[in-house]
């Protein structure tokens, strides 16, 4: 086997991923854009709201008519026509008048404030008492205050959230340009790996990697393309990789990446036409023997065979890479919300390796305690029990008990 095991740092590895070009954009309907990454700026085509609207139930008034009003000396105003919901009022509010208005109703011409209904009392069939003064624009959402015609609303690289979609829907924006979702081939290899429907025999294991990695790909906007399990055979692995490269944008391969006699991955990958092995070995734990190759602009990512290692490496590198291909920022993972927590116990680490440690959180936000989830290599239950991951620098020998750490919640 050719020697490729030249260890890079995790930061160097993620930088290498930046050599791959982003995928082309496509136009999609607003209703299927959740989680997608914008490839073009979104500009408002109208004002929102299109006219001044009330933010409360109450009375549209001229603010100056309420000046000096109090519980003991209320302002007495004549009732103008009630303002219907969803219509522009067809009248002008005169001095000394108040018009009943619902939340969201448009202010009539002449009105510049709204008095909340709580600060009013009926004064016969044609008048109302106002017991609280208001200033101009009180309880009023002005024309274009939410969005103005020609205003830049969302920039390229933004991952769309439900609130973004609601905002764009309110503006009548139905089509968006987003990064195309990458098709990711998922290949599991190993003589001992069998489909999950089968009962394992002696020395056999079900294919946890293929299903876990496929699920992870879906969470970051990718489309997994499952391939059949490949035995430890160079010809079979070569054929599977060539087929995958013709149908997918990215190829992931788990298994066979340890340094040893059964390491077929690097040999087969390096034998593909026009391929360049960019990295084989990252100074992280778990996942040191991770591989990255470029075949005609398509990435081949070799993951460890252990399901725990494969999942963590995929969180650290594959997830941010797939977001990058769709137009997002390329940054080392894991990605997720962060919470501060005090370590429940000390953790030892190895100088020269950046470590990703599973932790379980107890307590409440601001008072979390992080308990490391220890377990033997390959124990999937350690990932299931974990609420998040902490990172230990490659220059540290560990972390002491009580140290406040940043937990990336998964």
Q: What are the chain's domains?
A: 10-24+182-325 (3.40.980.10), 28-47+152-179 (3.90.105.10), 53-141 (2.170.190.11), 338-409 (2.40.340.10)
What pLDDT is attached to residue 389?
95
Residue 279 falls in which region: left (phi positive, over 0), alpha (psi -120 to 50) or beta:
beta
Burial of 253 (0-12, 13-18, 19+ CB in 10 A): buried
What pLDDT is attached to residue 260?
46
| Tokens 């489909």 -> residue | 195
Question: HEC states along 280-348?
Answer: ECECEECCCCCEEEEECCEEEEEECCCHHHHHHHHHHHHHHHHHHHCCCCCCCCCCCCEEEEEECCCEE
Residue 121 clears pLDDT 70, i.e. is over it: yes
Cβ neighbours of residue 367 closer than 8 Å, sequence gap 6 or more:
none
Map residue 385 onto helix, strand or coil.
helix
| Mean local confidence (pLDDT), 303-327 | 94
pLDDT tens profile 239-259? 999 999 999 999 999 985 444
Where does the pLDDT of residue 264 fall: very low under 50, low under 70, confident under 90, or very high at 90 and above?
confident
Cβ neighbours of residue 162 closer than 8 Å, sequence gap 6 or more:
34
Mean pLDDT of the chain: 93
- pTM for this entry: 0.85
Residue 221 clears pLDDT 80, i.e. is over it: yes
């Amino acid at each position: 086997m050719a020697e490729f095991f030249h260890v890079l740092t995790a930061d160097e590895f993620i930088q290498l991923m930046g050599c791959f070009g982003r995928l082309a954009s496509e136009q999609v309907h607003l209703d299927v854009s959740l989680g997608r990454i914008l490839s073009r700026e979104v500009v408002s085509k109208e004002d929102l709201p299109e006219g001044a609207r009330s933010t409360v139930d109450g009375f549209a008034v001229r603010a100056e008519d309420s000046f000096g009003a109090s519980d003991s000396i209320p302002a007495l105003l004549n009732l103008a026509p009630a303002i219907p919901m969803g219509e522009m009022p067809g009248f002008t509010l005169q001095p000394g008048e108040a018009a009943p208005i619902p939340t969201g109703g448009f202010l009539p011409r002449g009105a510049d404030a709204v008095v909340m209904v709580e600060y009013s009392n009926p004064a016969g069939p044609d008048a109302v008492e106002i017991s609280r003064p208001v200033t101009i624009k009180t309880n009023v959402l002005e024309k274009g205050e939410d969005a103005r015609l020609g205003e830049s609303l969302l920039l390229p690289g933004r991952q769309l959230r439900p609130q973004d979609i609601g905002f764009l829907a309110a503006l009548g924006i139905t089509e968006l340009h987003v990064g195309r979702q990458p098709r990711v081939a998922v290949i599991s290899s190993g003589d001992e790996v069998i489909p999950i429907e089968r009962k394992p025999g002696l020395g056999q294991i079900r294919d946890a990697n293929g299903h876990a990695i496929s699920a992870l790909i879906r969470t970051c906007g990718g489309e997994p393309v499952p391939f059949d399990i490949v035995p430890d055979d160079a010809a079979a692995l070569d054929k599977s990789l060539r087929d995958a490269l013709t149908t997918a944008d990215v190829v992931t391969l788990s298994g066979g990446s340890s340094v040893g006699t059964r390491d077929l991955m690097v040999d087969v990958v390096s034998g593909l036409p026009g391929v360049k092995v960019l990295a084989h070995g990252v100074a992280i734990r778990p996942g040191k023997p991770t591989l990255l190759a470029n075949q005609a602009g398509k990435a081949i990512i070799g993951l460890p065979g252990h399901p725990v290692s494969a999942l963590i490496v995929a969180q650290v590198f594959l997830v941010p890479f797939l977001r990058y291909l769709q137009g997002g920022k390329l940054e080392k993972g894991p990605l997720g919300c962060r919470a501060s927590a005090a370590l429940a116990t000390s953790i030892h680490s190895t100088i020269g390796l950046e470590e990703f440690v599973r932790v379980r959180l107890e307590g409440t936000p601001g008072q979390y305690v992080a308990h490391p989830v220890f377990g033997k290599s390959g124990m999937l239950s350690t990932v299931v029990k974990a609420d998040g991951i902490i990172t230990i620098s490659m220059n540290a020998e560990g972390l002491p008990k009580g140290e406040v750490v940043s937990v990336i919640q998964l």
